[in-house]
Amino acid sequence: MKIVTAFNNEFQRLGENCCESLRRHCERHQNETWQHYHIPGDFQYPPSFFKLNVILSALSDSEQVLWIDADAMIVGKKPMSELLANTTLNIARDENGPNCGVMAWTQTSESFQALERLLALRDEFKDHIWWEQAALMTFIDDLAVHWQEKRIFNAYQEDQCGETQILHIPGLHIHERTQILEEALTKC
């Protein structure tokens, strides 16, 4: 299994914290690898769309790919491979619906088709506040999805519990997110 993330210059410090959590996790779980990518400044879509190409590329040589946004990190000690169901998509819901900040895709034809479909919807959703997430909402009910428990798979600060594996801090100012994740990194 491969765990991937990407960030641009603006999210550099956040991304470094995320990467450190991935490095530590994969050191403990040798059958899991990680890789990070840099989103170029001239990327023509909102940075959130960059993840689709990363996931597609990683899926070509990995049975499962776990995407983690740069404002998230692995805080739990369990192997991610034990958490994921062997289905097209593993994702959690928040109050707005499925949250693409943390999601895992399995190497299936349905995954490749869904990711290509999301890429095809970029122009239609490039000005939406949820970008690829809004695009995914248009057809997620047609996919084989395992709905992960949010407080474990994609916990926001207020959702954290002793079983939380991935902490995600969206929506706050970048400095607040960085501070929260730096503090979390010292504890995991």
Whole-number average pLDDT of the chain: 96
Phi-psi region of 180 (alpha: psi -120 to 50; beta: other; left: phi over 0): alpha
In our burial notation (b when 16+ CB lie closer than 10 A, e otherwise), range 26-59 reads beebeebebbbbebeeeeebbbbbbbbebbbebb
Convert the pLDDT of each residue in 120-137 to its tens digit.
999 999 999 999 999 999
Convert the pLDDT of each residue in 32-84 to its tens digit.
999 999 999 999 999 999 999 999 999 999 999 999 999 999 999 999 999 99
pLDDT band at 187 (very low <50, low <70, confident <90, very high): confident
Distance of CA 110 to the CA centre of its chain: 19
What is the per-residue pLDDT for 50?
97
Q: How far is CA 177 from CA 18, 97, 183, in A?
A: 11, 22, 10
Convert the pLDDT of each residue in 79-113 to its tens digit.
999 999 999 999 999 999 999 999 999 999 999 99
Mean pLDDT of 176-186: 94
Maximum pairwise Cα distance, the chain: 41
pLDDT band at 20 (very low <50, low <70, confident <90, very high): very high
Domains of the chain: residue spans and CATH: 2-187 (3.90.550.10)
pLDDT at 188 over 90: no
